[in-house]
Amino acid sequence: MHIPFVDLKAQYETLKDEMAEAIRDILDSAQFIGGEAVASFERDFAAYCQVRHARGVASGTDALHLALRALDIGHGDEVITTAHTFIATAAAIVATGARPVFVDIDPDTYTIDPKMIERALTGRTRAIVAVHLYGQPADMGPIKDIARRRGLYVLEDAAQAHGAEYQGVRTGALGDVACFSFYPAKNLGAYGDGGAVTTNSAAIAERIERLRDHGRTSHYSHAEIGFNSRLDTLQAAILQIKLRRLDEWNANRRRAAEWYAVELAQSGIKTPFVQKGSTHVYHLYVIETNERDAMRNKLDQAGVATGIHYPVPLHLQPALAHLGYRQGDLPYCEAMAARSLSLPMFPELARDQVRRIAAIARAAAEQDGHKKLRRKSTYSPAALRAEAGKEWR
Ligand SMILES: *Cc1c(COP(=O)(O)O)cnc(C)c1O
């Protein structure tokens, strides 16, 4: 029996009638750009994120790009972020003309390491983009301390973390401005592309509104060159329905993660670590193993679909070769590229499916060559660098 990586059909089955009605209402209204459905979703999403303003945009990538532009970041500026993320995080920085500066991740949470940010600061640093990777908030306390001391902006890439919390505060409300994706497979997903920017600043919200709509201040007056990057009315109506179920879906993801943790305990496979005071919403359930490719093959042969997030760290991507990074520069990012394996994760995942997946992973971990991976106390960058020749690629 095949187990998919994500199952969007299972979710749609539970929403069918409500969706049909909402979509029919939009078709009947013949308003496809803007209108009350967009405004109403923006209000609900801002309230959900415990923040004053939300503005819908065309994608998560555009949310990042427009948010950076709204802060007037561009040529000559440096923006610090992690190399262990989706390409869009860096692509948005490059699109403004600014230079992405990559620093390493914490080897347990897989989010940007605040200590490494300190070392990367220069006179040109303008902002930090913290990625709440896999559904866990980055360590925002120390990141915001650095930013406050140095007068930098903090942006959240919250594309994988709708509804996650850091010390009781929701993602979207943790920095100066936050960027969400509603790509279909995200925790809150549209039926197509979509995204949002959230902020407590009215000025930033207004600037996003202008940038997403051709720099318009009125129908035929353009204060700046902007973009066509609006959230479709249909998608807003769909998202508004799904938003009401997000907490329930996130709770189901957490339940599945607990099942995995129970099944994989004692296996020597490194399972997700949740920082004290944070809630994880498990956009992805990512394990770490030095025999990643062998384990992935075994799961594949048994009909279990898996993913790798991400197989090439951004500092080693051909598209970013001009930045001049080399292999070995960011050991923990590179280790995750070689060792991470994403197991099936979606709210409808069943107990017996998790049991089956874990049994195959455990069996693979008992094969020769598999090493017990521990948390960071016994797992230093120097040790990783020494292993690099043997183990990575
Ligand atoms: C999905 C994702 C994006 C981009 O979102 P799109 O809506 O696909 O443009 C950006 N950053 C991260 C971390 C993501 O996972």
Which of 190, 214, 243 is at the close of a domain?
A: 243
pLDDT band at 389 (very low <50, low <70, confident <90, very high): very low
This prediction's pTM: 0.95
Residue 128 burial (C-beta neighbours within 10 Å; 0-12, 13-18, 19+): buried
**Which DSSP helix (H) or strand (E) runs through 287?**
strand 285-288
Among protein residues, the one with the nearest Cα to ligand 1's atom 2 is 159
Alpha helices in the chain (DSSP H): 8-13, 16-29, 36-48, 60-70, 87-96, 114-120, 140-150, 202-211, 233-243, 246-264, 292-301, 331-339, 351-365, 381-391
Establish if 359 belongs to a structural domain.
yes
**Ligand 1 centroid – CA 220 distance (Å):** 32
Question: What pLDDT is stored for residue 266 in this prediction?
Answer: 87
158, 263: one domain: no
What residue's CA is closest to ligand 1, atom 6? 60
Q: Ligand 1 centre and the CA of 367: distance in Å?
A: 35
Examine the domain organization and report whether 171 and 282 are in the same domain.
no
Please tell me the distance from the alpha carbon of residue 271 to that of residue 82, in angstroms, as a whole number. 21
On the question of pLDDT at 298 being above 60, the answer is yes
Identify whether residues 235 and 300 lie together within a single domain.
no
Distances (CA, A) of 52 to 49, 56, 104, 205, 383: 9, 14, 32, 9, 46
- Beta carbon of 353 within 6 Å of any ligand 1 atom: no
- Closest atom of ligand 1 relative to the 133 alpha carbon: 13
Task: Report the greatest alpha carbon distance in the chain.
Answer: 68
Of the two residues 367 and 384, the one the predictor is more confident about is 367
| 387 has pLDDT over 70 | no
In the three-class reduction of DSSP (H, G, I as helix; E, B as strand; rest coil), residue 289 is classed as: coil
238 and 315 share a domain?
A: no
- Counting ligand 1 atoms within 8 A of each CB, the residue from 79, 183, 193 with the most, and so the one to mutate, is 183
| 237 and 252 together in one domain | no
Nearest to 5 by CA among 260, 349, 248: 349
88 alpha carbon to ligand 1 midpoint, in Å?
6
Asked if residue 260 and residue 234 are part of one domain, the reply reads no
Asked whether residue 212 falls in the same domain as residue 262, the answer is no
Angle among Cα 62, 109, 117 to the nearest 5 degrees reads: 65
In a domain, 393, yes or no: no
Confidence of residue 376 (pLDDT cuts 50, 70, 90): low
Q: Does one domain contain both 149 and 258? A: no
- 238 and 265 co-located in one domain: no
Question: How many domains is the chain built from?
Answer: 2
Please tell me whether residues 147 and 293 are part of one structural domain: no
pLDDT digit string, tens, across residues 101-135? 999 999 999 999 999 999 999 999 999 999 999 99
How is residue 33 annotated by DSSP? Answer: B
Q: Is the CB of 189 under 6 A from ligand 1?
A: no
- Residue 111 covered by a domain: yes
Picking from 147, 98, 90, 68, the residue whose alpha carbon sits closest to that of residue 330 is 90
- Residue where the block lists tokens 């009315």: 233
Ligand 1 pocket member 278 (CB < 6 A): no
CATH assignment at residue 59: 3.40.640.10
Going by C-alpha positions, the residue among 42, 59, 47 that lies closest to residue 190 is: 59
Q: Above pLDDT 90, what percent of the chain?
A: 92
- CA-based angle 48:196:312, to the nearest 5? 115
Final residue before a domain boundary, out of 182, 208, 243: 243
- Mutation test of ligand 1: which of 87, 89, 309, 310 has the most ligand atoms closer than 8 Å to its C-beta? 89
Q: What is the mean pLDDT of residues 352-364?
A: 97
DSSP 76: T
Q: Does 136 sit in the ligand 1 pocket, CB within 6 Å? A: no
In 284-350, alpha helices (H): 292-301, 331-339
Q: Are residues 237 and 115 part of one domain?
A: yes
Domain that holds residue 292: 246-388
Comparison of pLDDT for 350 and 1, the residue scoring more: 350
Q: Are 143 and 133 in contact (CB under 8 A)?
A: no
Which residues fall within 8 angstroms of residue 63, CB to CB, at 6 or more apart?
57, 159, 179, 180, 181, 195, 196, 197
Task: Give tens-digit pLDDT for 142-165.
Answer: 999 999 999 999 999 999 999 999
pLDDT in tens, 64-86: 999 999 999 999 999 999 999 99
Residues 84 and 190 in one domain: yes
Whether residue 375 has pLDDT greater than 90: no
Q: Where does the pLDDT of residue 371 fall: very low under 50, low under 70, confident under 90, or very high at 90 and above?
A: confident
Residue 29 has pLDDT above 60, yes or no: yes
pLDDT digits (tens, 9 = 90+) for 195-207: 999 999 999 999 9
Q: Per the domain annotation, does 1 fall within a domain?
A: no
The reply to whether ligand 1 has any atom less than 6 angstroms from the CB of 235 is no
- For residue 370, what pLDDT is reported? 76
Check residue 368 and give its pLDDT: 67
